[in-house]
Amino acid sequence: MSTPDANPTPDLPTRGPASGFTSEPTRADPPHAATAGFGRDADAIVVGARCAGSAAAIAMARAGRRVIALDAVRFPSTTVSTHLLFAGGVAELSRLGALDRVEALGAPHHDDAYIELPDGRARGTYSPVDGIAYGMCVRRSGLDQALVDTARAAGAEVREGARVTGLVWSGDRVTGVHVEERGAASYTLRAPLVVGADGRRSLIAREVGAGKPHTTNVNQRACYYAYYDDPRTEWRGTAAMWRTGRELGTAFPCDGGLTLVLLMPPRERADAFRPGLEGEYDRTLTLLPGLADRLAGCTRTTKIVQATDLPSYFRHSTGPGWALAGDAGHFKDPVTAQGIRDALRFGRLLGEAVAPVLDTPTRLDAATASWEHRRDHECRETYHWTNILARSTAVSPLEETLMRSMATRPEGSRPLLDVYSRIRKPSELLTPRVLATLLARTLTHPGVDRTAVLRTALTEARSRLATHRSLRRR
């Protein structure tokens, strides 16, 4: 079988869609850049070694491929993330062989989840996913280190403190990357495939001309979170969410005896946080009495992390010699906590799809295109559902009725948790028949504003119709 760039000429010009023609500098190989075959340094190069990048590297290395993963940071290293995993996400860690390392960090199992609205609350346990019936919240410094260690154990080479500055091109095909490391000469690596797993502000996406999403939705909520020292042992096994009016807050017990407390106020209130972040954070807690009660006896021990610009999107994510994994290619609003699960799953599936065909460019391109289609197909309905939940509207009477209904069932909120774990589609939870039943019950509830309820129902119907049409177009 032939390989791309079988006999490269270092002084030939290379071309990229954004940069035009450039002359490639003569490469100064660092001591650890051994050449694996003619014209390639690896079978695949992964840019970014966090969740998606490590997952892709693990899958390819397990298949016997030589993988080099590059990351600008040195691990352990944190990143902005609410890092909640439902049972489906924990199952993805298990499939990668990383769960034992993650469990060793000491994060408690979330055996159930609690949701509280002003006039309705529900609690439920998880349906098993591959035998796993619990969630976890693991701080990113430990989680990402565990994934990097798993990638190395699988046979991947992970280079830390290695910053990719650009791509190498052969015609319209990506054939490698340019790398800088502190205290060392810059160098070039070549491989049949470059995976961009370098986050929302992906350099690889920009370099291949895919930086602008083809589908996007502006976020209506901002994110502010901090960690609390949490002595409330009765809550250690419960992930919880509270909503009052337009406010939303959560408490997720995590490793280190801490609890992650996330507030997601309407985005237009971000101006109020800028002059006095801590004061406005504390004031917002008072708007969520249930969450404030949950934190009684707890002490905030870290600074408050903020993120206000979080649009959801899909980017075109594959092309000749390249693919975008994780947030580099697709991102959903954090309100449904699906990012890590999807990064792990589709990073792994990408690695599994390309490993057998890395020596044949046409088959490689077909495999990456098929992988992108699968990712979009599996994620699209959850993407639309997330955008609906991320609206900064006040709690509606329909939502209150749904919570009261779940509270009376033996399984509680388990059907909703199945949606978060991705073993049930949103449309399978809230079918037209279920929505009609909720509407009828809401209209008969004492003191309800029927006009407002009907207006909300009409808005919901329009949103779901638009989602249905979008799914049918794809």
pLDDT at position 397, please? 85
What would be the CATH architecture of the domain defined by 13-77+142-216+312-386? 3-Layer(bba) Sandwich (3.50)
For the stretch 190-202, pLDDT in tens is 999 999 999 999 9
Q: Quick one: which of 259, 266, 387, 294 has its CA closest to 334? A: 387
Q: Which tokens in the block code for residue 432? A: 């037209």
- Region 383-387: mean pLDDT is 95
pLDDT at position 473, please? 67
Residue 293 has pLDDT above 70, yes or no: yes
pLDDT band, very low/low/confident/very high, at 215 (cuts 50, 70, 90): very high
Q: How many CB atoms lie within 10 A of CB 132?
A: 22
3-state per-residue secondary structure call for 223-236: EEEEEEECCCHHHC
Which sequence spans correspond to the domains of the chain?
Answer: 13-77+142-216+312-386, 220-307, 394-473
pTM of the model: 0.89
pLDDT at position 60, please? 98
- Region 22-26: mean pLDDT is 31
- Region 180-185: mean pLDDT is 90
**CATH classification (class only), 220-307:** alpha beta
Residue 25 has pLDDT above 60, yes or no: no
For the stretch 29-79, pLDDT in tens is 333 333 333 478 999 999 999 999 999 999 999 999 999 999 999 999 999
Main-chain phi, psi angles of 429, to 5 degrees: -85, -50
d(CA 431, CA 174): 45
For the stretch 326-355, pLDDT in tens is 999 999 999 999 999 999 999 999 999 999
379 sits in which H/E element: helix 361-389
d(CA 324, CA 328): 6
Give the chain's mean pLDDT.
89
d(CA 238, CA 451): 37
For the stretch 405-452, pLDDT in tens is 888 888 899 999 999 999 999 989 888 888 888 888 888 888 888 887
Q: Which tokens in the block code for residue 405? A: 């209904």
Calculate the dihedral angle through the C-alpha atoms of 261, 265, 267, 268, rounding to the nearest 10 degrees: -140
